[in-house]
Structure 1
Amino acid sequence: MEESKIIKDKRVLVTGGAGFIGSNLVDVLLDQGNEVICLDNFSTGKRENLQFALQNDRFNLIEGDIRNFEDCVAAVQGCDYVLHQAALGSVPRSIADPMTTTDVNIGGFVKMLFAAKEAGVKRFVYAASSSTYGDHPSLPKVEHIIGNALSPYAITKYVDELFAKNFSDIYGIETIGLRYFNVFGRRQDPNGAYAAVIPKFVSELMAHNSPVINGDGSYSRDFTYIENVIQANQLAAITPTIDFKEKLKHYSESIGKLHDPTCTISEVFNVAYGERTTLKELVENLKSALAIYDPKITDIEVKYGPNRGGDIPHSLASINKASVILGYSPEFSLKTGIDQAVKWYKK
């Protein structure tokens, strides 16, 4: 990316920095000459994800919990930006244990946001979720139209957006939420009960087992490669306030929405590629990519199971708002992303 579109020579806190998305952000930020602080309690993150970062003298690991306000305060000191990735993901996990999901995703979020405000952080970029769109049937999904939440996880991520807007209005801290759509890529864990679909399918196919699709395979998703997410986080952090507000004004006018230019920045953006793929098509793409290394994978049959509770049938993002205001332009399609991800899983 161009230097004008990256974070460089700053002090950045990445919460959940030992996780899949967080550790990829940590590595890129270090490569760009930043000082990076990682706050993680390793409940889902892995130390092995930080093996390169730990060799860098500009990296500081704080083993702590976002539910502990003192840890949040310590982590955010002197930071220019916060990239808040720490959360308990997974719709099924939230249905099985809504209390812990709420405690982490809302309680921890508010503590982290308040600590950032107290430390004078100008802009707080956080991981939001496409699950916020809930049962609204329209496609593509646009940021200002949402439905009813279908899981405790979805509720927590929407409540985070409400708190972010409230803190911006009251305290003046700039907040930007990035509604991720089905992110995949290197370091995404294929193991565990709540593994995401792509690494889970890759793991099964590599073991010559039949992957199990929930439903008949017609459900579709807007799969988003990790590099696109890294781009969006950086643009969200560094887009100048004046430019941001001017472009937001024009975007708001284009959708017939009133905008007050005096308000502190508090917006949400879809982060996706902007194309949808059925689960059946996804498996075929994965089989093709893996068959380059192991031709026998081509003949593996797919199994079908019941639909999963809390899932929506289809998801597709409009990325127009992020494109217009942030200059977001995803470089990796599903196919190019899968090719890169498979190379990593085959190592």
Structure 2
Amino acid sequence: MKTGLIRALALATTLGLAATPALSQDRILNVSYDIARELFEALNPAFTEQWQADTGRTVTVEQSHGGSSRQARAILEGLNADVVTFNQETDIDVLAEGGLVPADWRDKLPNDASPYYSLPAFLVRAGNPKNIQDWSDLARDDVAPVFPNPKTSGNARYTYLAAYAYGLAQNNGDPAATQEFVRKLLSNVPVFDTGGRAATQTFAEREIGDVLVTFEAETAQIAAQYADKGFERVTPSMSLFAAFPVAVVAANAEKNGSTEVSTAYLEWLYSPAAQELLAQNHYRVNDATVAEAHATDFPEVELVTVDEVFGGWDAVRAEHLADGAILDQVFVNR
């Protein structure tokens, strides 16, 4: 009798376990640019909540941050990224050339696979004692700008290109005069860190330099983080449209069994909920309703594009970023 009771209890337990659905757990690794930590700390919990509501499954979104070019190299060397959320198109192109991302990655999502955008802008010390207003001020003898190395940081690459675009506009398209302007600006930089976060620490904590040049979104975050220092945000008269491209690292996602959730993660960045969070974190967005609601948060600025000024990213890579090209020339002689 006791044996029969034990068997009945065991059978009931087995049936109960069979009737209880197993908890399904997804996981993805988002490899991102250096200064995006706080942004994705805001975005990821909202996505995990939405994913569970849509699928009944939980998901863990892990993050890796660093200079975007260094991150791209790390992925080529084996960093198991499921998705990338970069600040430089060329760094995703590198992954496409390495066979990890589809060659047509720009066509996979709206706006050339860029769910949000920003532009290089300035953060100056309390009271703006050097009266820094525009790119021309960064080439003055008495001004020390701070930004990372354009060879390792997508953030700094936009700074370099924005300064170059401004130089062209001010010098009637004269490349020699423009390169001299950019050379002088670069020679004023006291230290070139490898990424945006280190450059922020150089400016804000080590108190080196007169102006930090970084993405507009980051200037707002830094000003809030170091409110006691009284940093002030300055928008230059002209700047460069900075897309923030995203892509599924298809080769890794397929191997990891994460293609579905990785794709959903990037598609979700275009949703009104995500666009609202992006705008709250000082990024400019393409959703018309959200953009209109936050219009007063973003100063007007003349925005030029890489295509308009430089003929596209392929031309930038060949003429500016390749070994021995213009960037190397203005660095060597700075």
| TM-score relative to the length of structure 2 | 0.29
| TM-score relative to the length of structure 1 | 0.28
Between Structure 1 and Structure 2, whose CA radius of gyration is higher?
Answer: 2
